[in-house]
Amino acid sequence: MLASILRRVEALELDLNGLSVVTEAATGAYACTATIAAVAGARRVSIFARDTRRHGSASDAF
C-alpha cells in the first residue's frame, strides 16, 4: 500500500509541506488518508474517529 501511496502522491504532485491536516481515522478504502497526508509532507496530521454501526468502531480505525 505504501508504494502505491508514494506513486500517487508523486503523480499528483501533492504537496502538503508545512500544513496541518485533520482527517478521519477510518477503515477500508479510507484507512490511508493520514498516511497520505504524512507522505505528502504535512507538518502535523490529526486523526479523529467515532463508533458507527455502519463503518465499525473507532478502536478498529485506530
Q: How many domains does the chain have?
A: 1
> In the chain, pLDDT over 70 holds for what percent of residues?
100
Contact 23, 47 (CB under 8 A): yes
Q: What is the pLDDT of residue 34?
A: 95
What is the Cα–Cα distance from 21 to 34, expressed in whole angstroms? Answer: 8
27: which DSSP letter? S
The mean per-residue pLDDT over the stretch 19-47 comes to 94
The mean per-residue pLDDT over the stretch 11-25 comes to 96
Instruction: Tell me the three state secondary structure of residue 22.
Output: strand
Give the pTM: 0.83
Domain that holds residue 25: 2-61
Please list, residue by residue across 22-58, b when 16 or more beta carbons sit within 10 angstroms of its beta carbon and e when fewer do: ebbbbbeeeebbbbbbbbbebeebebebeeeeebeeb
Q: What is the pLDDT of residue 57?
A: 87
Q: What is the pLDDT of residue 6?
A: 97
